[in-house]
Amino acid sequence: MPEQNLRISKNVDLSSFATMHVSAKAKTLIEIDSLEDLIQALHEIKREEANFLILGGGSNVLFVNDFDGVILNINLRGIEILEETDEQVLLKVAAGENWHELVLYCVSNGWGGIENLALIPGKVGAAPIQNIGAYGVELSQVLVDVEALMIESMTLETFSNEECKFGYRESIFKSDLKGKTVITSITIALSKNHTPNTEYGALKSLLSAKGIENPTIKDVCDTVIEVRESKLPDPSELGNNGSFFKNPVIDVFLFNELKKKYKDLPGYPVTEHLVKVPAGWLIDTAGWKGYRKGDAGVHEKQALVLVNYGNASGAQIYKLSEAIKQDIHQKFGIELEREVNIV
Ligand SMILES: Cc1cc2nc3c(=O)[nH]c(=O)nc-3n(C[C@H](O)[C@H](O)[C@H](O)COP(=O)(O)OP(=O)(O)OC[C@H]3O[C@@H](n4cnc5c(N)ncnc54)[C@H](O)[C@@H]3O)c2cc1C
């Protein structure tokens, strides 16, 4: 691969590029600082028929093997106000911006809509991939469109909110377009007179414990950060990927059967026939919370979070996730699906 212009590293240790901090090597890693870099790198990848992976902050990726190909580390930067009225602001944000810093920037400007999504690690470009969500809010609620480079044609295309086919931790970029696009920016619409969503249990309780009746977006942002810091391990201190599994959506018939045996099984209706069940509750009830084998474990406060206590390999974490999946299937008849991308 010609080295002019591109920032290329060889035989790269990936432990600091992904938040589970497992050790794995990439044959090649290219820092993508501009659209030109991206296009040039993709041309080279095509020419060499190399395997490649687009990487943001690595908070939703688990490396279980060395990567025998090219990793494109997306660093595209820039936040642009496309339009501003008395009511709202339209922001175009480049894929390499840090998500949490974007939230803080918007909150400090009084622009509401993403304050509940504070402290989610990672970069902006990955946010639409699984339609990030937390504390009752999903990205899809503010997203106007996504700009992406189509890898085959090398053209930029814009996908409207509807075209993104958002669902719970889902989008077209994870399904039909998986591996076919690189997201370069997103546009979001934020409100200047926003009424924050404070319905989510833990958020509501802490706001009320603090005596805040009519919270501002800053109150909500600060409180979300407080709740998250009390519940979730900080990846810079303890390797993890946040929620390792999605919350399964099950048939109401199975839910009612399980409810006879497990009286406190929580369930949230999705449709008349489907109920969403917290994966964390299932894993906790099955007795996995605090489990540890070697350096691979299940977090002691949050059963949905698998952790690396130091030197666990990606394969060991994966093996643990497999054992949990099998156990949940055996005990509850429910198939857990991983939220984390296994590489
Ligand atoms: C402590 C912790 C808490 C978390 N809490 C939440 C939460 O509350 N809600 C939630 O939804 N998620 C949560 N996550 C998961 C994760 O933070 C999000 O999924 C985040 O959006 C991933 O961003 P990233 O930049 O790290 O993506 P990466 O992990 O780098 O990539 C994720 C996937 O997106 C692809 N990708 C990345 N960037 C691009 C791009 N520009 N174009 C095309 N494909 C791309 C990658 O190939 C990979 O398949 C949490 C993770 C951790 C570690």
Strands 292-293 and 274-276, how do they pair? unpaired
Residue 112 has pLDDT above 60, yes or no: yes
Asked, for residue 205, whether it belongs to a domain, the answer is no
Indicate if 249 and 307 belong to the same structural domain: yes
Is the residue at 225 inside a domain? no
User: Residues lining ligand 1, CB < 6 A?
Assistant: 19, 53-61, 74, 95, 120-123, 125-127, 129-130, 132-134, 181-183, 232, 235, 240-242, 341
Q: Degrees (nearest 5) of the Cα angle 257, 259, 261?
A: 85
Domain that holds residue 332: 239-342
CA of 146 to the centre of ligand 1 (A): 16
> Is 169 an annotated catalytic residue?
yes
Please say if the pLDDT value at position 247 is more than 90.
yes
Tokens of 298: 């299940």
Q: Is the pLDDT of residue 256 over 80?
A: yes
Classify residue 3 as exposed, middle or buried by CB count within 10 Å of its CB (0-12, 13-18, 19+): exposed
Q: Are residues 102 and 131 in the same domain?
A: yes
160 given a catalytic annotation:
no
CA atoms of 337 and 325, how far apart (whole Å): 8
With pLDDT > 90 as the criterion, what percentage of the chain qualifies? 97
Within a domain: residue 44? yes
Is 63 in the same domain as 121? no
Check residue 4 and give its pLDDT.
Answer: 60
Is 227 domain-assigned? no
pLDDT tens string 190-216: 999 999 999 988 899 999 999 999 999
Segment 38-64 mean pLDDT:
97
Q: Please tell me the total number of residues recorded for the chain in this structure.
A: 343
DSSP state of 234: -
CATH, residue 300: 3.90.78.10
Q: For residue 319, what are its two tokens?
A: 């093996």
* DSSP 8-state class, residue 90: E
- Share of residues in the chain with pLDDT > 70 (%): 99
Q: How far is the C-alpha of 62 from the C-alpha of 67, rounded, in Å?
A: 11
Domains contained in the chain, number: 3
Residues 92 and 70 in one domain: no
Residue 52 identity: F
- Could you give the dihedral angle defined by the CA atoms of residues 337, 341, 342 and 343, in that order, rounded to the nearest 10 degrees? 160
DSSP string, 92-143: EEETTSBHHHHHHHHHHTT-BSSGGGTT--SBGGGTTTTT-EETTEEGGGTE
Q: Which residues contact 133 (CB under 8 A, 6 or more apart)?
A: 117, 139, 168, 169
* Residue 203: inside a domain: no
Q: What is the CATH number of the domain that holds 168?
A: 3.30.465.10
pLDDT at residue number 5: 81
**CA 207/CA 219 separation, integer angstroms:** 8
Question: Is 243 one of the annotated active-site residues of the chain?
Answer: yes
| Per-residue DSSP letter, 145 | E
Instruction: Based on the fold, state whether residues 125 and 164 are members of the same structural domain.
Output: yes
Instruction: Answer yes or no: is 153 within a domain.
Output: yes
Do 97 and 153 lie in one domain? The reply is: yes
Digit-coded pLDDT (tens) for 270-288: 999 999 999 999 999 999 9
In a domain? residue 69 = yes
Whether the per-residue pLDDT at 341 is higher than 60: the answer is yes
